[in-house]
Structure 1
Amino acid sequence: MPFFKSSLSGPGYVVLNVIRVCNIIALLAIVAASFCMLIKTFVVSKFFFFDGVSHVITGCLALALILTEIGVFRRYIANNWPLLSINSGFITLAVLMIILGVSVLGNLNKTATSENSLGRTFWQLTIASGIVVSLFGVINIFANYAFRQKSLGITARQVRKYGSTAPQKVDVSPSLSVRTAKSGRRSFYLNRRSVSDTLPSYHTDNRPAARNISAPVMATTPIKGVSDGGVPVINGVQRPDLAHHPAYQGQNF
């Protein structure tokens, strides 16, 4: 199966880029139909404001999807619209295209956007744009599952950009274990060895060089400012011997 998926990367580069061109054309038709209906709504409808706002939102959303398909503002899209970035597939794009198509076709039932109001040419443009963009929305869903490499975490967008070199160009997560690769679920975990190297250790060692800072150090030889018993002397005042502390007497409280 991985060999089959890798063999589809080369043809997938061509097929997905052809689909991208068709997506842009279909979305441009939605923009044209939306603004055409917007003009007719202002002329005919009495409640033109809300209908006009809906047409503006439809046209602006189609323009935004065109920008994602062209590939401009990639950093902004990755930070703010991650579901439309290169690290995601075509599912969000496909769903939005289907919604746009249904919205445009639904407006044809209104008086302001009927065949008599728009004229036969613009009415045909509107109905064709709704059908085509919905159709390519469905095609994008099938293309997303057909050309992605799920075991490697490579999306269909990455195949569309890099083709057969996608496994070398894309940073495949090293945390994908054999089990998660078979199940298709990503596992993000820290290596146990790396954790033990970065976290501090509180185990004590009898060797002087291996003593941790958290382990108490008892002086055994007299030094300057220290009494014969190893108890420090500060300004002539000797601190009480720790040997008499309850913790060292084995008392329980």
Structure 2
Amino acid sequence: MSRLSKALAGPGYVILNVLRAINIITFLDLIAASVVMLIKISINNNFFFFEAVSHAFTTILGVFLVISELPFFDKFFTRFVPQLGETASFVPLSLVMLIMGVSVLGNLNNDDYSQDHMGMPFWRIVASAGILAMTMGIVNFIASFIFADSENSLTARHVRSYGAVADKVLDSKSSQRSFKLSPSGSFHNNNQADGLPTYRQVSITRSAEELRNSRFPVNISSPVREKTTTSPHATPYGETPEVTMPDLAHHPAMQGGNFV
């Protein structure tokens, strides 16, 4: 299936761009049909306002879809409306076209939009818009699966934009998103811009001073006491006291008269 998709990528570039032009014509036809029905609406009761709003909404939606099919706003739709962006398939677009086609054709059941009331030229505009929208919705739905390459994560929109080199362009873009050259000249991972978490290696080595401040906030003083000057006879802890010569006048050996 992957080989078949690669073989169809070249012709698919031409076929899908032709379908793009037909899609734009279809949406323009839907816009014209909605404007015609908005003009030809009859005020039968107070609920005509909601019918007018539905036609106005279809007109605005048609203009929005025409802009989405132009090749100038791919980045905008990829970011804000991913269902119509470059990475999406044609399935959402085809479903919207089917709903719009059924809605337009359903209005022909109303007497206000009959051939006699609208006239044959305007009636044909409405009928052609509904039929063309339903037909192109089915065609886009089928093309979304024929020209897609699920194994390489390629959608039909990728093939419509890049043709046979769609896989290479996609690989190049993914590589640029993964790694980006920083101003200092070193490469760093750019996964954080894609919403992925980053992991940093935290150093587990700390200085002795940092550990002492964090684990032992209480400072322990030195066991050696400082020498005090308040008392002259006090002996400092840990120091050797001075040896003084005893008074020999009172020694028994010096007193011969008293020696027995």
- What are the superposed Cα offsets for residues 65-89 of structure 1, whole Å, 9 maximum, x if unpaired? 1110013333332222111001111
Q: Which has the larger radius of gyration?
A: 2
Shift of 1:44: 4.8
Contact 1:40 1:112 in 2 (8 A): yes
Shift of 1:10: 0.2
Q: Structure 2 vs 1, CA of residues 154 and 214 (structure 1 numbering), >3 Å: closer, same or farther?
A: farther
In structure 1, the gaps of 5 or more residues are 175-188, 190-194, 203-211, 220-230, 240-253
SS of aligned partner of 1:237: coil
CA RMSD in angstroms comes to 3.2
- What are the superposed Cα offsets for residues 55-105 of structure 1, whole Å, 9 maximum, x if unpaired? 011111111111100133333322221110011110110000001001101
Mapped to 1, the partners of 2:211 and 2:29 lie a distance apart of: 83
- Which stretch of the first structure deviates more once superposed, 29-38 or 67-76? 67-76
Shift of 1:131: 0.7
Q: What corresponds to 2:6 in structure 1?
A: 6
Residue identity opposite 2:34 in structure 1: S
Q: What corresponds to 1:34 in structure 2?
A: 34
Q: Structure 2 vs 1, CA of residues 101 and 215 (structure 1 numbering), >3 Å: closer, same or farther?
A: farther
Mapped to 2, the partners of 1:233 and 1:95 lie a distance apart of: 73
Shift of 1:238: 4.6
- Which stretch of the first structure deviates more once superposed, 131-140 or 115-124? 115-124
SS of aligned partner of 1:8: helix
In the alignment, is residue 237 of structure 1 matched against residue 221 of structure 2?
yes
In structure 2, the gaps of 5 or more residues are 176-190, 192-196, 224-260
Q: What corresponds to 1:114 in structure 2?
A: 114
Identical pairs, percent: 37
Contact 1:232 1:238 in 2 (8 A): no
Shift of 1:139: 0.4
Q: Structure 2 vs 1, CA of residues 233 and 58 (structure 1 numbering), >3 Å: closer, same or farther?
A: closer
Mapped to 2, the partners of 1:196 and 1:72 lie a distance apart of: 34
Q: Structure 2 vs 1, CA of residues 111 and 7 (structure 1 numbering), >3 Å: closer, same or farther?
A: same
Shift of 1:198: 3.8
Shift of 1:197: 7.9
Shift of 1:170: 1.4
Q: What corresponds to 1:154 in structure 2?
A: 154
SS of aligned partner of 1:29: helix
In the alignment, is residue 170 of structure 1 matched against residue 170 of structure 2?
yes
Mapped to 2, the partners of 1:233 and 1:50 lie a distance apart of: 78
Mapped to 1, the partners of 2:142 and 2:218 lie a distance apart of: 82
SS of aligned partner of 2:130: helix
Contact 1:153 1:173 in 2 (8 A): no
SS of aligned partner of 1:16: helix
Contact 1:86 1:157 in 2 (8 A): yes
Shift of 1:232: 11
SS of aligned partner of 2:32: helix
In the alignment, is residue 92 of structure 1 matched against residue 89 of structure 2?
no
Residue identity opposite 2:117 in structure 1: S
Residue identity opposite 2:80 in structure 1: N
TM-score by length of 1: 0.69
Q: Structure 2 vs 1, CA of residues 23 and 232 (structure 1 numbering), >3 Å: closer, same or farther?
A: closer
Shift of 1:11: 0.4
Alignment: residue pair count: 199
Mapped to 1, the partners of 2:211 and 2:125 lie a distance apart of: 90
Residue identity opposite 2:110 in structure 1: K
Mapped to 2, the partners of 1:80 and 1:66 lie a distance apart of: 16
Where do residues 77-226 of structure 1 align in structure 2 (5 Å cutoff)? 77-171=77-171, 198-200=200-202, 212-213=205-206
Q: What corresponds to 1:49 in structure 2?
A: 49
- What are the superposed Cα offsets for residues 116-137 of structure 1, whole Å, 9 maximum, x if unpaired? 2211111111111101111100
Residue identity opposite 1:155 in structure 2: T
Residue identity opposite 1:5 in structure 2: S
Mapped to 1, the partners of 2:218 and 2:43 lie a distance apart of: 99
